[in-house]
């Protein structure tokens, strides 16, 4: 970790805890800052805040009092989940107090370069694949961000020879200033999180921040099949490395005659890739590009792609019961992710879907639902998804209270040879704290059948 003095004796407010807030507060404390932590959850119910208090950090819990902004803070490190229309953030902006997210702080002290991955879908799979390829290639990677230890903790152990592979959300990228990954990946861009960003333009602009500080010495790996992504690439100063699962490219990663190529070189045969689903080709190609740019040999890439069957909660194979195969795709928190999941199977599907109502319709899902034999819905969007299913011609639709009850209902509606797939097309927050909790509930319910 770099020893920096820019925060020594500076008054800094960490707004919102969870893992990123705890990591940021602890790091700033080590850097000699006068840290105050403010979290909405009461102290008695807040073990994270209690732990920071024991470190000698000032902690204010139970709300976000705007009068805190009168205490002369020179910087705010914001939890990514707190929206920019929050009164504390609006007040900070009016006072000219800079607001960053934890990943920016981590970058400022990191000795290791970053390989940063963002996009609407495929971030977690791409991040995991890139990490495992670098690990197989002896490139000393460390994984950070949304699927690992928070970056502000990882950087404290990282050295120049390491590579920090990090998944980044649009929420995190809105709070960067200097963050500059050596390699950035933009998997794809669709409409998402509009309840947070307000417009698709703001959402796309947040994703584009991943390359805003890159130079001609850096690489930006982009989806050549998406005009929206290529529009972002056109504004980047980095060396553009395209990938495409549908067409041959003069450079970058692509598929030709059943082979995966990078810069005209055969890497491995497509049929030897273990990960199911044609949509996963985007994730495979972008991670192959990152690995090759880092100097990973083909054999290491082949060993990973030949055995990697997916990450937990993303088309995760749970098991078989009474000749039905169960798949957990709880991370499918938007319509496109569910469309991709449905396209991965040729056998009849019993779909489990529903969750947080963000105000959108599910008309876009109708063509993909024609592949579905029966539907079990739950959550706030149960009625909306059921309506889309009727329009798709699905005759068997059941509505239940939650995922746990959806599993035995799906079993009753199924026949031997069917796929029972949890792919909600919605966020989990109406009933579950995270999509991971929702997925774990599904897994538990499947095991209870047995």
Residue numbers belonging to the annotated binding site for ATP: 119-125
Return d(Cα 354, Cα 386) in angstroms, integer: 9
Say which residue the tokens 């994730």 belong to. 283
168 neighbors 96 (Cβ within 8 angstroms): no
The pair of structure tokens assigned to 66 is 């705007």
Q: Which residues are known binding-site members?
A: 119-125
């Amino acid at each position: 970790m770099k020893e920096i003095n820019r925060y020594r004796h500076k008054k800094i407010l960490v707004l919102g805890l969870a893992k990123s807030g705890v990591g940021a507060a602890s790091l700033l404390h080590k850097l000699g800052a006068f840290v105050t932590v403010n979290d909405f959850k009461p102290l008695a119910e807040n073990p994270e805040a209690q732990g920071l208090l024991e470190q000698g950090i000032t902690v204010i819990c139970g709300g976000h009092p705007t009068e805190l902004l009168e205490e002369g803070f020179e910087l705010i490190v914001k939890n990514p989940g707190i929206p920019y229309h929050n009164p504390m953030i609006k007040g900070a902006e009016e006072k000219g107090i800079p607001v960053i997210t934890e990943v920016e702080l981590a970058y400022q002290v990191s000795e290791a370069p970053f390989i940063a991955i963002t996009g609407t879908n495929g971030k977690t799979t791409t991040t995991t694949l890139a990490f495992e390829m670098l690990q197989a290639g002896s490139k000393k990677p460390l994984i950070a961000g949304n699927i690992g230890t928070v970056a502000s903790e990882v950087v404290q152990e990282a050295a120049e020879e390491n590579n920090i592979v990090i998944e980044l959300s649009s929420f995190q990228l809105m709070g960067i200033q200097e963050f500059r990954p050596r390699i950035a990946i933009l998997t794809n861009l669709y409409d998402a999180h509009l309840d947070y960003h307000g417009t698709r333009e703001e959402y796309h602009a947040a994703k584009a921040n991943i390359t805003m500080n890159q130079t001609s010495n850096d690489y930006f790996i982009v989806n050549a099949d998406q005009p929206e992504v290529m529009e972002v690439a056109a504004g980047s100063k980095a060396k553009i490395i395209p990938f495409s699962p549908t067409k041959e490219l003069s450079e970058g990663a692509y598929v030709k005659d059943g082979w995966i190529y990078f810069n005209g070189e055969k890497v491995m045969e497509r049929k030897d890739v273990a990960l199911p689903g044609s949509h996963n080709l985007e994730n495979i190609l972008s991670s192959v590009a990152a690995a090759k740019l880092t100097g990973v040999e083909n054999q290491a890439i082949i060993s990973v792609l030949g055995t990697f069957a997916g990450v937990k909660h993303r088309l995760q194979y749970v098991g078989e019961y009474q000749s039905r195969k169960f798949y957990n795709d709880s991370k499918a928190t938007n319509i496109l992710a569910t469309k991709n999941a449905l396209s991965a199977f040729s056998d009849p599907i019993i779909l489990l879907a529903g969750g947080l109502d963000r105000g959108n319709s599910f008309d876009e899902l109708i063509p993909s639902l024609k592949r579905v034999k029966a539907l079990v819905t739950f959550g706030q969007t149960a009625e909306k998804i059921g309506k889309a299913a009727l329009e798709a011609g699905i005759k068997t639709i059941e509505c239940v209270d939650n995922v746990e009850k959806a599993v035995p209902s799906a079993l009753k509606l199924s026949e031997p040879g069917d796929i029972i797939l949890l792919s909600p097309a919605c966020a989990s927050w109406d009933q579950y704290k995270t999509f991971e909790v929702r997925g774990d509930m599904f897994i538990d319910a499947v095991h209870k059948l047995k």
